[in-house]
Amino acid sequence: MQNHVAKFSRVGFILSAAGAAVGLGNIWKFPYITGVYGGGAFVMVYLVTILLIGVSLLIAEMLMGKRGGADAVSNFQTEAPKGSSWAWTKAGYLFVIGLIIMTFYSVVIGWIFYYLYVAVTGLPTSQKEAEDVFNALYSNAPYLQMALHTLSVVIVGVVLVRGVKNGIEKVNVVLIPMLILILLGLMFYSMGYDSFGKALSFMFNPDFSKLSGEAIIRAVGHSFFTLSIGIGSIMAYAASLPKHTNIFQAGLWVAFLDTFIALLAGVVIFSFLFQFGGEPAKGPGLVFMSLPVIFSQLGGIGIVIALLFFLGLAFAGLTSAISLVEPTVMYLERRWSFSKGGAVFWSSLLYFAVGILVILSISDGFKESFTIGGKPLFDALEFAVDSFLMPLGGILIALFVGFAMKRDIVEGELLGHMGNTVFKIWYFSIRFIAPLAVLFLAYNALKM
Ligand code: PHE
């Protein structure tokens, strides 16, 4: 009996940890950037990065959180050996990246809310109609988007203020399996199409001649994004883990589930897209232009699936959003003695306000005034997160765990779970492979 209980709580823990990582990055962003950057070769770089660097970093960040048990700034201070340099003690401010991500993440959650409404009031029946529905929202409905963005800010804020985060995370125990089931169901359905093979070859048949420097950088950045590495989210989450938790195993499971869901979403979306004659490089509207058409073709049951799918996606997005804002809230409360309400209010206000500019940057009639370096603010922020901010957060954690923390402490946390050989490989990856790979990328990004 006891064994049974222990087993369940382990599964529950892994699913809620995966819930923090599985979000819009998997179902909205991964397919869309795979489409924009040409498929196979991009996916290959993404997979290799997750395997070589991502999993190691995920474990490293869990380790910091579990040992430090506090906000990112404090963890970088308390876990560093005495007399550490200024740079280390300030590294924890990387949590601000979470708010930057929220400026567009919350806007996209708003789009999903809108599609819950579309599912009930009438799904588009053709590719063309689906594109029109999305484009009308994307570039022609700034006030509606602002209202939906506000709704998302309020929901995330209320969950954080009321401290029901743990309760919400329990939702993941149902949510993650439900998303997997829906995606698997859609995948089996799409296997009947000729386009299924085409989708597989688009995603897994790499053509390296298509791979630009920019594509490599975004693939690496996205693998950090999708695993939630480098902004203190995983740290905040791991801060309350019981001491005996096997973070090696948890890290592997989270990375596996996260990647599995992204690949599944990609295969499904591209099969449907190719079947109905769509082009892969559709940008941020890809998921909204491809899936609703198939839902509508399924008739009455399609509406139910559409509702479950968008509801699942909204929850997945919201649980990730909560973990994006939480590190800032935790910092303001602990270090600046903000009340919970105050901490949530000021962090929310910041990303809410910039979110409004993000919406204007894609709206007809306003967009000309909100571009940076020729890109709409929306794209510029997304690009900055992938190509610069997430890798920066990741490298700080890698260098900290690899060089600043004492080896015997790190060994003490992991050796028992990993064994000697795996530990050595992991430690090498954290100390050398991850930092060097990111430096190499940064160098190439600057040259671009
Ligand atoms: N991993 C989340 C996603 O894929 C986004 C995220 C990044 C959440 C960083 C928390 C921290 O949607």
Atom number in ligand 1 closest to CA 229: 9
Confidence (pLDDT) at 85: 67
Closest ligand 1 atom number to CA of residue 25: 4
In the reported structure, the alpha carbon of residue 158 is separated from the centroid of ligand 1 by a whole-number distance in angstroms of 19
**CA-nearest residue, atom 6 of ligand 1:** 228
Q: How confident is the model at residue 40 (pLDDT cuts 50, 70, 90)?
A: very high
* DSSP E strand boundaries for 178-326: none
What CA–CA distance (Å, rounded) separates 203 from 55? Answer: 22
Better-scored residue on pLDDT, 174 or 6? 174
Residue 326 C-alpha to ligand 1 middle, in angstroms? 12
- For atom 7 of ligand 1, the residue with the nearest CA is 228
Report the residue among 33, 226, 386 best suited for mutation to probe ligand 1: largest number of ligand atoms under 8 A from its CB.
Answer: 226
In three-state secondary structure terms, 375 is strand
CA–CA distance, 78 with 85 (Å, rounded to integer): 13
CB atoms within 10 A of CB 234: 31
Rounded to 5 degrees, φ, ψ at 274 are: -65, -35
Who wins on pLDDT, 104 or 167? 104
Range with the poorest average pLDDT among 47-51, 135-139, 300-304: 300-304
DSSP 62-77: HHHHHHH-S-HHHHHH
Domains of the chain: 2-447 (1.10.4160)
Query: What distance in Å separates the CA atoms of residue 438 and residue 448, rounded to the nearest whole number?
Result: 15
Measured from the Cα of 227, ligand 1's closest atom is 1
Average pLDDT over residues 110-128: 94
The mean pLDDT value of the chain amounts to: 89
Q: Ligand 1 centre and the CA of 149: distance in Å?
A: 18
Q: Which has more pLDDT, 338 or 8?
A: 338
Query: Mean per-residue pLDDT for 244-249?
Result: 86
Give pLDDT tens digits for 71-98: 888 888 888 777 666 566 677 888 899 9
pLDDT digits (tens, 9 = 90+) for 291-323: 999 899 888 899 998 998 999 899 889 989 998
Atom of ligand 1 nearest to the CA of 320: 8
Closest CA to 67 of 303, 234, 271: 234
pLDDT of residue 427: 96
Q: Which of 15, 22, 8 is nearest to 312 (CA)?
A: 22
Task: State the closest ligand 1 atom to the C-alpha of 97, by its place in the atom list counted from 1.
Answer: 9
pLDDT band for position 7 (cuts 50, 70, 90)? very low
Q: For position 1, what pLDDT does the model report?
A: 36
> What letter represents residue 232's amino acid?
G
**Nearest CA among 111, 161, 92 for reference residue 322:** 161
CA of 323 to the centre of ligand 1 (A): 8
**Residue 2 binned pLDDT confidence (cut-offs 50, 70, 90):** very low
pLDDT of residue 238 exceeding 90, the answer is no
Q: Percentage of the chain surpassing pLDDT 70? A: 93
Question: Quick one: which atom of ligand 1 is closest to the CA of 323?
Answer: 10
- Identify any residues that bridge with 372 across adjacent strands, giving them in sequence order: 375
The pLDDT score that the predictor gives to residue 4 is 38
Structure tokens, 10: 């382990």
Mean pLDDT of 48-77: 90
Residues with CB under 6 A from ligand 1: 21, 23-26, 98, 101, 225-226, 228, 231, 233, 320, 323-324
CB 98 within 8 A of CB 87: no
Count the alpha carbons within 13 Å of 303 in the hemisphere toward its beta carbon.
Answer: 9
Q: How far is the CA of 196 from the centre of ligand 1 (A)?
A: 28
